[in-house]
Amino acid sequence: MKEYKLPDSITNDKLVELYKQMWVIRYFDEKVDQFFAKGMIHGTTHLCVGQEATAAGAIAVLREEDKITSTHRGHGHCIAKGATPDRMMAELFGKATGYCKGKGGSMHIADLDKGNLGANGIVGGGIPLAVGAALTSKMKQKGYVVLCFFGDGATNEGSFHESLNLASIWKLPVVFFCENNQYGMSGSVKEMVNIENLADRAVAYGIPGKVVDGNNILEVMEVTHEAVEHARSGKGPVLIEAKTYRWKGHSKSDARKYRTREEEQEWRKKDPIKRFKEYLIDKGLLTEEKAEQLREEAFQEIEDAVKYAESSPEPAIESLLEDVYA
């Protein structure tokens, strides 16, 4: 069994905690999927079922003062950075107790107290925000690193290239983390770029580029920790590409006609939660019984979040123009 170089903060207890966290992320999105199908939540949503290892693993190696920027597929990032499922669910239900008082919905959850600078409905929209936050850290000598999540589709946006260039020449403390789930909306990444690894684009900006198995949480933690410490030490940014797969469609209206069910089944065999459980059991850190208990606890946590959201008040009419800027 391969040994991974993890930071001291990743204790055996923390590994077990991360196993449960991955289930919380999955059950949250599966529950949201059910509510959208029933028309009980409005707008749209983008689910990260199958990608739990990237969010849980990458954020696990951060310090409390470090920041993240997220994406339209950001529920997992929010939970991993300390957001509570009850307030997140309330936000999706449009309730006043949600993180954005019910006005932001699925794609705009932010929690500044936890260092989550916000999910973003614009593809690549969080990348320049991460660079700005990293510039603040450097100029004011704050010492924090910014972990910037985005998908494979965002690597063809101008914001990606402009941001990596600025971060590189100014040696900013930011780690660019690409969750390559193989499809930008309905287009295969193989049809969108003419290179095998998106991380190879790091060469153009004179920064390290790393490819990681995005379904292996241990590998994600190892590589992200190295990148974060590289950035924190003043050596500048790193680009990480985590190869993973979204089990669901791009959004709630996606019938996934652009890929085969056989391909989906092959990726499901690489289930990051199942792989992590097998590792923990092999290392003697978990038993089948304990694993089942943690899974049930995660399920109940989401059920409780639903009850909280359903019982929370609607925003008052007089609050309509609050928190709106022109």
**Domain ranges for the chain:** 12-309
- Is the distance from CB of 30 to CB of 24 less than 8 angstroms? no
Chain segment 249-308, per-residue pLDDT in tens: 899 888 898 999 999 999 999 999 999 999 999 999 999 999 999 999 999 999 999 999
Chain segment 151-161, per-residue pLDDT in tens: 999 999 999 99
pLDDT at 1 over 80: no
Chain segment 12-38, per-residue pLDDT in tens: 999 999 999 999 999 999 999 999 888
Beta strand pairing status for 187-188 and 209-213? unpaired
How many degrees, rounded to 5, is the angle at CA 145 between CA 142 and CA 148? 140
Note the pTM of the prediction, 2 decimals: 0.96
Question: What pLDDT, on the 0 to 100 scale, is given for residue 83?
Answer: 97
φ, ψ (nearest 5 deg) of residue 188: -65, 140
Question: What pLDDT, on the 0 to 100 scale, is given for residue 277?
Answer: 98
Chain segment 181-219, per-residue pLDDT in tens: 999 888 899 989 999 999 999 999 999 999 999 999 999
Give percent above pLDDT 70 in the chain: 99
pLDDT band at 149 (very low <50, low <70, confident <90, very high): very high
State which fold the 12-309 domain adopts: Rossmann fold (3.40.50)
Alpha carbon distances (Å) from 119 to 78, 144, 265: 8, 19, 29
pLDDT at 325 over 80: no
List all residues 6 or more positions away from 89 whose beta carbon is below 8 Å from its beta carbon.
28, 31, 32, 302, 305, 306, 308, 309
pLDDT band at 136 (very low <50, low <70, confident <90, very high): very high
pLDDT band at 71 (very low <50, low <70, confident <90, very high): very high
Write out the two tokens for 108: 């705009």
Give percent above pLDDT 90 in the chain: 90
pLDDT band at 87 (very low <50, low <70, confident <90, very high): very high
Burial of 179 (C-beta count, 10 Å sphere; 0-12/13-18/19+): buried
Question: What pLDDT, on the 0 to 100 scale, is given for residue 306?
Answer: 97
Mean pLDDT of 51-66: 98
Whole-number mean pLDDT of the chain? 96
Question: What pLDDT, on the 0 to 100 scale, is given for residue 255?
Answer: 84
Chain segment 32-58, per-residue pLDDT in tens: 999 988 888 888 899 999 999 999 999
Beta strand pairing status for 187-188 and 238-243? unpaired
Question: What pLDDT, on the 0 to 100 scale, is given for residue 250?
Answer: 92
**What is d(CA 67, CA 59) in angstroms, rounded to the nearest whole number?**
9
